Structure 1
Amino acid sequence: MTAPTPLTYRDAGVDIDAGNALVDRIKPLVKRTFRPEVMGGLGGFGALFDLSGRYREPVLVSGTDGVGTKLKLAQQLGRHDTIGIDLVAMCVNDILVQGAEPLFFLDYFATGKLDIDTAAAVVGGIARGCELAGCALIGGETAEMPDMYAPGEYDLAGFGVGAVEKSALLDGAAVRAGDLLVGIGSSGPHSNGYSLIRRIFDRAGRPADLDLDGTRLIDALMAPTTLYVKPVLALLREHGAAVHAMAHITGGGLTENIVRVIPDGLGLDINASAWPLPPVFDWLQREGAVAREEMWRTFNCGIGFVLVVPPERAAAIGAALDSRSLPHWRIGEVIAASGDDRVRIG
């Protein structure tokens, strides 16, 4: 009887040496994101973060997300360097909604066969997103799983933790009828609606170089999600009492996201003519023959983040946003409403 051929983990499709090489490649990128509270370095079994001395009554706020099928488009185009920014933004912008400062972030990168250059580009984008958000990339996991993914494919997930003083927590309880909605501009579709976007893009013949007011269509579609953390936290430090609630416009669009922070008995009257529809959304609506209501519940339509503020403080909030070069518009108001029909977009 012939002895079986000896097998190794590499024979089975997992290259431990490649994983170690990736860690060496990304260490300097990760180190740039560290805050003074980070204890230890990269490579331990658990990541350590010291909260002592920063908060009197800290409330931890956590969030997790991915980037949806925008990841498929990134892989088709070979654009791996900014998708990590999207990953960070989708998590930390959610954490920000409750007034919390994102403190640290962890990522999960899974692929069938590890390509060090691709993985390093992705993690480089994650590190850049963390720098822009002021949070530490404190740890993560790279999983090489043969037969789970097609060649060249990978998947991403992110996890963020932030903190806010209990007294400063934003939970929507202060919202009143008559409060105004101040919408802050998005950079594009961000990371939502890409299953529909890819269908429209494919049906149109993938016109990547189509000019949209000086921007190529593909650049507009792949623009990284805006990180609102630093400017909005600065605004809260100056005008915290003037902000009753905030919303991050993600899956569900304008129709379903703002109302999540509005108490029962109240609703929203949104004026769709209050801001210009960016060219990329105009193209998607026209090329895909997408109904108006479908646009509102699928895409952010140019509004990536919303502040709910009392009318007497709206001017000060607007001036603060102007000083931080954030495009913004008064897009509607809070109204009395009940039942299932609490959002009106006119």
Structure 2
Amino acid sequence: MTQSSSKYSEAGVDIDKGNLFVSRIKNIVAETHGPGVLSHIGGFSGLFSLSNEKLKDPVLVASTDGVGTKLAVAKLCNKHDTIGIDLVAMCVNDVVVSGAKPLFFLDYFACNALDLKVAADVVRGIATGCKQANCSLIGGETAEMPGLYQPGDYDLAGFVVGICDADAIIDGSNIRAGDKIIGLASSGFHSNGYSLVRKVFFEELGKNVDDYITPLGCTVGEELLRPTRIYADSMMSIVQHFAVKGVIHITGGGFIDNIPRILPKGCTARINAGSWPILPCFTYLQEMGGITPGEMYRTYNMGIGMMVIVSASDVENIQRQFRDHGEQPYLIGEIQSAETGSDQQIFIDGVY
């Protein structure tokens, strides 16, 4: 056994180190567990009971995602304790769009060779994200693949399962002309468009992660590693008390590609581009990178990470409740009837 393990280690995979890693993160993972968790880390699978979910016709809602090349920035900064928050955010923000409450989360961590500190920091961030989303981290996979990844590289994927009642699924089918669009402030770039971000900051401008950028009020690394905002808690408070007609997570594709995904035929969304403050990171990137407004709105969230479509009569109360949960809501647009013969489903005043 010892000889076999040693030979495998020589090939680049250290089983003992993997076992040590599991032992180090057990308590971190356990801190995220809610009443539905029936298993402990280290088993072959994660078990979760739905007995506490008092729903008439429960529907499971699942999503999977990654964080893209934001990982490259984490490597440049040698800071890995927040990228896990991004991973959780990108997944749970997608399931709350359907009105689902996140239940449990799993992660996949692949690398060249396991660095215990880096991997533990990543899981610590995932646990933090799960706490923010009120979901349990019930398992994951750590894979050492020296023939596939370069030394120091790793990749992440996340998987979340949520739940909602069948008659409470939010799918946009009830959206009508006259409905209003509330936008929730983002924390920055979130986890999208980083290939272009890195090209502008590092290649075209020649910046380093430690360079201080006065318009941003922080270093390059601090701005680019700012964690993605998780909207699960505030969104659950809204869907439990109001009739939400549509929710849009502004991820890759920005405003232009994401808004039409929820709109029924015959409806268009008109966005007032001056109704919320554009974050400095977007203004700086656009100006320094020579990027057109249209491309910015098709690549980035521009300061709005989530949109909620509701009846006009509910706007004031919903905004108040969002503020009570720590969000910054803005009334950013409305739904209109599509012009005859037009298939365009989004208009951004002065931009698109």
| TM-score (norm. length: structure 2) | 0.94
1:234 corresponds, among 196, 220, 237, to: 237
Unaligned runs of 5+ in 2: none
Is 2:332 the counterpart of 1:297? Answer: no
SS of the aligned residue for 1:274 comes to coil
Read off the aligned partner of 2:260 and give its amino acid letter.
V
Unaligned runs of 5+ in 1: none
Identity %: 48
CA–CA distance in 2 between the matches of 1:99 and 1:236? 7
Quick check: 2:73–2:224 contact (8 Å CA) kept in 1? no
Match of 2:12 in 1: 13
Match of 1:155 in 2: 155
* 1:243-322 map, 5 Å: 243-322=244-323
CA–CA distance in 1 between the matches of 2:221 and 2:5? 48
Task: Using the TM superposition, give the Cα deviation of residue 324 of structure 1 relative to its aligned residue in structure 2, in angstroms.
Answer: 1.9
Quick check: 1:68–1:191 contact (8 Å CA) kept in 2? yes
Task: Using the TM superposition, give the Cα deviation of residue 325 of structure 1 relative to its aligned residue in structure 2, in angstroms.
Answer: 2.5
Match of 1:327 in 2: 328
CA–CA distance in 1 between the matches of 2:144 and 2:152? 12
C-alpha change, 1:217 and 1:76, in structure 2 (3 Å) is: closer
Task: Using the TM superposition, give the Cα deviation of residue 7 of structure 1 relative to its aligned residue in structure 2, in angstroms.
Answer: 6.7
Match of 1:59 in 2: 59
Read off the aligned partner of 1:162 and give its amino acid letter.
G
Q: Deviations over 1:45-91 (max 9, x none)?
A: 11110012412211100000000111111111111000000000000
CA–CA distance in 1 between the matches of 2:142 and 2:79? 19
C-alpha change, 1:6 and 1:308, in structure 2 (3 Å) is: closer
CA–CA distance in 2 between the matches of 1:209 and 1:154? 27
Read off the aligned partner of 2:57 and give its amino acid letter.
E
Q: Deviations over 1:256-299 (max 9, x none)?
A: 11221111111111111111111010100001000000000000
CA–CA distance in 1 between the matches of 2:37 and 2:345? 44
Read off the aligned partner of 2:249 and give its amino acid letter.
H
Quick check: 2:39–2:138 contact (8 Å CA) kept in 1? no
Match of 1:120 in 2: 120
SS of the aligned residue for 2:9 comes to coil
C-alpha change, 1:292 and 1:6, in structure 2 (3 Å) is: closer
Is 2:59 the counterpart of 1:35? Answer: no
CA–CA distance in 2 between the matches of 1:232 and 1:160? 16
Quick check: 2:73–2:221 contact (8 Å CA) kept in 1? no
C-alpha change, 1:7 and 1:35, in structure 2 (3 Å) is: closer
Instruction: Please identify, of 162-171 and 59-68, the stretch whose mean Cα deviation from structure 2 is larger.
Output: 162-171
Read off the aligned partner of 2:68 and give its amino acid letter.
G
CA–CA distance in 1 between the matches of 2:129 and 2:274? 32
Read off the aligned partner of 1:201 and give its amino acid letter.
F
CA–CA distance in 1 between the matches of 2:175 and 2:314? 13
Is 2:209 the counterpart of 1:210? Answer: no
Q: Deviations over 1:293-334 (max 9, x none)?
A: 000000000000000011111111111112223112111111
Matched residues, number: 340
Quick check: 1:217–1:280 contact (8 Å CA) kept in 2? no
Q: Deviations over 1:140-172 (max 9, x none)?
A: 000001121111100000000000011211111
Supply the RMSD in Å over aligned alpha carbons: 1.5
* 1:145-224 map, 5 Å: 145-202=145-202, 203-206=204-207, 208-212=211-215, 214-224=217-227
Quick check: 1:247–1:261 contact (8 Å CA) kept in 2? yes
CA–CA distance in 2 between the matches of 1:331 and 1:7? 61
Instruction: Please identify, of 101-110 and 42-51, the stretch whose mean Cα deviation from structure 2 is larger.
Output: 42-51
Match of 2:49 in 1: 50
